[in-house]
Amino acid sequence: MSEIRYDVVTGKIAVISTERGKRPHDFKKTDVVKNDGPCPFCPGNENMTPPTLVEFCDEKGTWKLRGFNNKFAAFSKDTNSSMVEGDNELHNELHKANDGYGVAEIIVESNHHDKTLGQMEIDEIQNIIKALILRYDEIVKDKNIKYVQMFKNFGANGGASLEHGHWQIMAVTFIPEAVERELQGVEKYKNGKGTCPYCDIVNDELTEKTRVVAENDRFIVICPFASRFAYESWILPKEHKKAFNKIDSDDIKSLSSLLKYIINRYEDLFDYPPYNIVIHTLPHQDERDFHWHIEILPRLTTFAGFELATGAYINPTPPEQAASILRLD
Amino acid sequence: MSEIRYDVVTGKIAVISTERGKRPHDFKKTDVVKNDGPCPFCPGNENMTPPTLVEFCDEKGTWKLRGFNNKFAAFSKDTNSSMVEGDNELHNELHKANDGYGVAEIIVESNHHDKTLGQMEIDEIQNIIKALILRYDEIVKDKNIKYVQMFKNFGANGGASLEHGHWQIMAVTFIPEAVERELQGVEKYKNGKGTCPYCDIVNDELTEKTRVVAENDRFIVICPFASRFAYESWILPKEHKKAFNKIDSDDIKSLSSLLKYIINRYEDLFDYPPYNIVIHTLPHQDERDFHWHIEILPRLTTFAGFELATGAYINPTPPEQAASILRLD
């Protein structure tokens, strides 16, 4: 049997297998990123990348974290060409397009080629978050930018093309539909109940406890009720806060501690599985309400025809079971 | 540079890399489905599967195609349990769920373990389409069913867990959001222009020719303008037809011929790449207008953080280039 669950904010459907939840050893380990030749993200190879945009150094002046433009950018400010040539009204109606104006940057997490996020010290993770915020605040000075998407791909099945740990920042001239849907979901829920749905989720999960993985003074890690991915987790600020880039140094410390915890649990339980980390925050020019959060999406199963055809997801592990396994009781 | 393209029906965004389109040899071949033990889909192992629901036999009575319930079903009519226990109003509001009532069936394409769709004779492909329609018409007799999703997963990265070629049918009690979005897109476009957007696409592509891969009397294969996947193709009926299950025997023959053609091209150019085939048709209880079609989604790149965070897709190959390579001039 299975159960169809609806995300309270977006309405997105997750089909949760209730009969036999897949446990960590049920997932095959098939994921290796192998790069030939020198690593462009390693110290000494800085000339293989564009110039430094942000870096943190140790007392000897050696960089510990380094950010720069993505050499293979999906978005850039160099937008002088277009493939689309309209020749009549119908043609133009069918072929709506814009140039790919935007920003694509890389943050290299550390100067160690194969140190993982779960292996890092908390202050190293704090530096990553600080660097993301520094770049965010710089990037949004460009008024053409509507949204800054920050994310991390890990492992081949997570879409990482380089092994050396890194984050990506992509700034675009539109509000992505997944973010817009959450914004509208928050608005609709607030209009009905007068409260923020994410605040209600935090309070409900703290009461019920079955989907809580970890918590500290400022943040909570849960496996969301309508988890689309097996062992999916979210990190939410306990207090209602709209925007990731407005967090203070105590937030950064608390967040880093939980991020290390949850990634370390994945690494231990699934032997360094592929995953994506995505940050959802209020678009910086937006007046609406939001509750920023982080989604961690382990890539243990494959998107297949059903997901691509329908937009609904089949998840073989109930989040209650996932949380009980991810939790250190 | 890149270009942001909008699907005219759904508004979905594809970010098309215009700088250097990825050609077939740029994609790594990493995909193998390997099964241990006897194949449950091979002749002689019928006792490993649920009972036959549909089969076509040769003159000796040996089955050439066989359908049955999926043993590992995401949906079934046995819905007597629920994981969700509501204890107060807020809890219920946050935890909306239904049981996973529905149907999950398998159609085994042939009695050859490793014969691929592109290697089949056209009459074998006709049998697959006939079997899908037979099962469709049977399944929708249950008035609880709102949509029947038919699809094929091929290859490990396409989500296939068994190597032996097969299709899947999943019938559900909701209209999937991806289908609903297309239905609403058709309605909105018709309200504006008075025509069906898919009919306009067919006519525009036939005039412009740059994204046409193949055509015959009844169908056209194109690489859609806002292709989300590298080398994505769609098969559309040239005439406005709402529903897949209403096609006639000439349609089935024409469709089978083009389906063989395009899959064969993928197999030749990409050495049997992983892919998904999904059918989008009018929900059978729906009074709205639609133009049914097939989407073929090669899985040459990996969904990564950007796609999962935003709902927009980065596609490294312009569809014009993809069509010129898939086309046999």
Question: Is the pLDDT reported for residue B93 higher than 60?
Answer: yes
pLDDT of residue B50: 96
CA distance A309 to chain B (A): 6
Residues annotated within the binding site of A for Zn(2+) are 39, 42, 113, 164
Q: Which member of A91, A112, A166, A293 is catalytic?
A: A166
| CB atoms near residue A231 (< 10 Å) | 32
Please name which of A5, A27, A19, A1 lies closest in space to residue A231, comparing C-alpha atoms. A27
Residue B308: its chain A contacts at CB < 8 A?
151, 276, 278, 295, 297
Asked if B94 lies within 8 A of A225 by C-beta distance, the reply is yes
Across the interface, of A200, A279, A305, the residue whose CB is closest to B90 is A200
Model pLDDT for residues B100-146, shown as the tens digit of each residue:
999 999 999 999 999 999 999 999 999 999 999 999 999 999 999 99
Query: Mean pLDDT for chain A?
Result: 92
pLDDT of residue A27: 76
Rg (C-alpha) for chain B, rounded Å, is: 20
Asked if A74 lies within 8 A of B15 by C-beta distance, the reply is yes
pLDDT of residue B17: 79
Looking at chain B, the whole-number percentage of residues with pLDDT higher than 90 is 80
Our count of domains for chain A comes to: 1
CATH code assigned at A107: 3.30.428.10
Token code pair at residue A215: 């918590």
pLDDT of residue B84: 46
Question: Is the pLDDT reported for residue A87 higher than 60?
Answer: no
In a domain, A130, yes or no: yes
Residue B233: its chain A contacts at CB < 8 A?
none
Q: Which residues pair with A16 in a beta bridge?
A: A3, A315
Burial class (CB in 10 A: 0-12, 13-18, 19+), B191: exposed
In a domain, A171, yes or no: yes
pLDDT of residue A83: 46
Q: What mean pLDDT do residues B196-206 have?
A: 96
pLDDT of residue A127: 98
Residue A176: its chain B contacts at CB < 8 A?
13, 309-312
Higher pLDDT, B190 or A17: B190
pLDDT of residue A283: 98
Instruction: Choose the mutation target among B152, B302, B317 for the interface with A, i.e. most A CBs under 10 Å.
Output: B302
Model pLDDT for residues B17-74, shown as the tens digit of each residue:
766 677 877 777 666 677 789 999 999 999 999 999 999 999 999 999 999 999 988 8
Instruction: Choose the mutation target among B310, B314, B321 for the interface with A, i.e. most A CBs under 10 Å.
Output: B310
Edge-to-edge strands, sheet with A219-222 = A52-57, A63-69, A102-108, A166-172, A147-154, A275-280, A293-298, A233-237, A219-222, A212-215
pLDDT band at A78 (very low <50, low <70, confident <90, very high): confident
Residues annotated within the binding site of A are 39, 42, 113, 164
Q: What mean pLDDT do residues A144-164 have?
A: 95
Q: What mean pLDDT do residues B184-195 have?
A: 96
Can you give the residue range of the structural domain that contains B138? 2-326
In a domain, A305, yes or no: yes
Model pLDDT for residues A11-42, shown as the tens digit of each residue:
899 988 766 677 877 777 666 677 789 999 99
Model pLDDT for residues A222-247, shown as the tens digit of each residue:
999 999 999 999 999 999 999 999 99
Question: Is the pLDDT reported for residue B227 higher than 70?
Answer: yes
Residues annotated within the binding site of B are 39, 42, 113, 164
Question: Is the pLDDT reported for residue B83 higher than 50?
Answer: no
Model pLDDT for residues A180-235, shown as the tens digit of each residue:
999 999 999 999 999 999 999 999 999 999 999 999 999 999 999 999 999 999 99
Pairing outcome for strands A313-315 and A13-17: parallel
Asked if A98 lies within 8 A of B3 by C-beta distance, the reply is yes
Query: Mean pLDDT for chain B?
Result: 92
In a domain, A84, yes or no: no
Single-letter residue type at A166 = H
ipTM of the complex: 0.93
In a domain, A241, yes or no: yes
Q: What mean pLDDT do residues B95-104 have?
A: 92
pLDDT band at B309 (very low <50, low <70, confident <90, very high): very high
pLDDT of residue B8: 87
In a domain, A85, yes or no: no
Residue A25 bears catalytic tag: no
Token code pair at residue B293: 């079609």
DSSP string, B139-172: HTTSTT--EEEEEEEESGGGT-SSSS-EEEEEEE
Residue B160: its chain A contacts at CB < 8 A?
304
